[in-house]
A and B are shown apart, each in its own frame.
Chain A
Amino acid sequence: MAVDQAKPGATAAGAESAEALGAGLEAVGYLPSDTVSLVSYLAIQMGKPVLVEGPAGVGKTELAKALARHTGRELVRLQCYEGLDEAKALYEWNYKKQLLRIQTGAAGDGQATDQWDSVSDNIFSEEFLLERPLLHAIASSDPVVLLIDEIDRTAHEFEALLLEILSDFQVSIPELGRIEARTHPIVLLTSNDSRELTEALKRRCLYLWLDYPAPERELEIVRLHVPELDEQVAKRLVEIVRMVRELDVKKPPSIAESIDWARTLLLLGAKQIDRETFEQTLSIIVKHRTDLDLVAERVGVKLADRGAGPAGA
Chain B
Amino acid sequence: MERASLSAAARKDPTPHGSVAPTLVDFCRELRDEGMNVGTSELLDAFDALERVDWTRREDFREALAATIAKSQEDRHLFELVFDRFFFRAAEAEALANRAELGGELTGVQDRAGEGEPGDRGEAADGGQEASEQFDADALRQAILDAIERGDDAALRDLARLSIMTLGGAPSSGVLGVDVQRVRRALQLRSQDLPPGEEGAAQRKQLQQFERHVRRELEAALIAQTGKLPTVRPLNELNRALPSSGAQDLAAVHRSVKMLKRAMATQGLEHRGHQRTGAVDVRHTMRASLQTGGVPINLRYRPRRPRRPELFVLCDVSTSVTSASVFFLSILHALHDSFKRLRSFVFIERVAEVTEVFEKARAFAEVSERISKTAGVADISGYTDYGRVWADLYEQVADDFDPRSTLIVLGDARTNGRDPRADLFGAVAEKAGRTFWLNPEPTLYWNYGDSVIGVYEKHCDGVYECWTSKQLEGFVRELTTTRRR
Contacts and interface: CB of A to CB of B under 8 A. Distances in A.
If over half of B's interface residues share one DSSP class (helix, strand or loop), that class is named, otherwise mixed; here it is: helix
Interface string A36-76: 00110110011010110100000000000000000000000
Interface stretch (A80-88, A157-165, A199-207, A270-278): A199-207
B73 A38 contact: no
A250 interface: yes
Interface centre among A39, A207, A209 (most CB of B within 10 A): A207
A202 B72 contact: yes
* Category for how many chain A residues contact B: 20 to 34
Contacts of A202: 71-72
B59 interface: yes
Contacts, number: 74
B53 A18 contact: yes
B64 A38 contact: yes
Given A193-B73, A196-B72, A17 B54 contact: yes
B270 interface: no
Contacts of A194: 251
A205 to B, nearest CB: 7
Interface string A17-31: 110000000000000
A42 B366 CA distance: 44
B153 interface: no
A125 interface: no
A185 B59 CA distance: 27
Contacts of B53: 18, 38, 41-42
Nearest to A204: B41
A10 to B, nearest CB: 13
A226 B257 CA distance: 47
B198 A206 contact: no
B369 to A, nearest CB: 9
Contacts of A248: 245-246, 365
A207 B66 contact: yes
Given A46-B52, A196-B255, A243 B198 contact: yes
Contact of B251 (A195, A207, A243): A195
A46 B63 contact: no
A4 interface: no
A46 B53 CA distance: 11
A199 B75 CA distance: 12
B52 A45 contact: yes
Nearest to B71: A202
Given A202-B71, A207-B70, A42 B37 contact: no
Interface string B238-255: 000000011010010001
- Nearest first, the 6 closest Cβ-Cβ pairs linking A and B are A202-B71, A206-B67, A207-B71, A45-B52, A39-B67, A38-B63
29 contacts: A17-B54, A34-B59, A35-B63, A35-B67, A38-B63, A38-B67, A39-B63, A41-B52, A42-B49, A42-B53, A42-B64, A42-B67, A46-B48, A46-B52, A48-B45, A53-B73, A193-B248, A193-B251, A194-B251, A195-B251, A202-B71, A203-B42, A206-B45, A206-B67, A207-B75, A209-B76, A242-B198, A248-B245, A248-B246
Interface of B: 37, 39, 41-42, 45, 48-49, 52-54, 59-60, 63-64, 66-68, 70-73, 75-76, 198, 245-246, 248, 251, 255, 363, 365-366
Interface of A: 17-18, 34-35, 38-39, 41-42, 45-46, 48, 50-51, 53, 193-196, 199, 202-203, 205-209, 242-243, 246, 248, 250, 290
